[in-house]
């Protein structure tokens, strides 16, 4: 299984993660969730593995622009609907590999996880 990095191409964190993978010679495929889309089943598998609270990027501009009524009282179903409708609300990058799914980028963590 080739590792898949999900994100948005203009996201600074995704750019750092991709640069790090390239420098380390780690093979991966990039999937832009905004351009290439994201199906509900895949998002649900991430929610099952990580929890919707960890996936939903509440610090991002897209989430902060939501009306307070949409932000208050979020549950798993509402969060999933928001992330499907606006993939920029997903914390990035999401990585699927043979060892499971993760979200976010940390060079130190990735060094232990991916570097040979």
Which one of the listed residues 5, 6, 7, 11 is annotated catalytic?
Answer: 11
88 vs 7: CA distance, rounded Å: 8
Q: Are 102 and 4 in contact (CB under 8 A)?
A: no
Q: Are 40 and 76 in contact (CB under 8 A)?
A: no
Active site residue 11: yes
Which residue numbers are catalytic? 11
């Amino acid at each position: 299984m080739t590792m898949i990095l999900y994100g948005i191409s203009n996201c600074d964190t995704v750019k750092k993660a991709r640069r790090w993978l390239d420098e380390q010679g780690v093979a991966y495929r990039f999937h832009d969730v905004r351009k290439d889309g994201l199906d509900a089943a895949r998002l649900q598998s991430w929610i099952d593995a990580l929890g919707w609270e960890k996936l939903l990027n509440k610090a991002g501009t897209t989430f902060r622009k939501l009306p307070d009524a949409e932000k208050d009282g979020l549950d798993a179903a509402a969060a999933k609907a928001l992330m499907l409708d606006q993939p920029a609300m997903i914390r990035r990058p999401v990585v699927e590999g043979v060892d499971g799914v993760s979200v976010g980028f940390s060079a130190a963590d990735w060094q232990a996880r991916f570097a040979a």
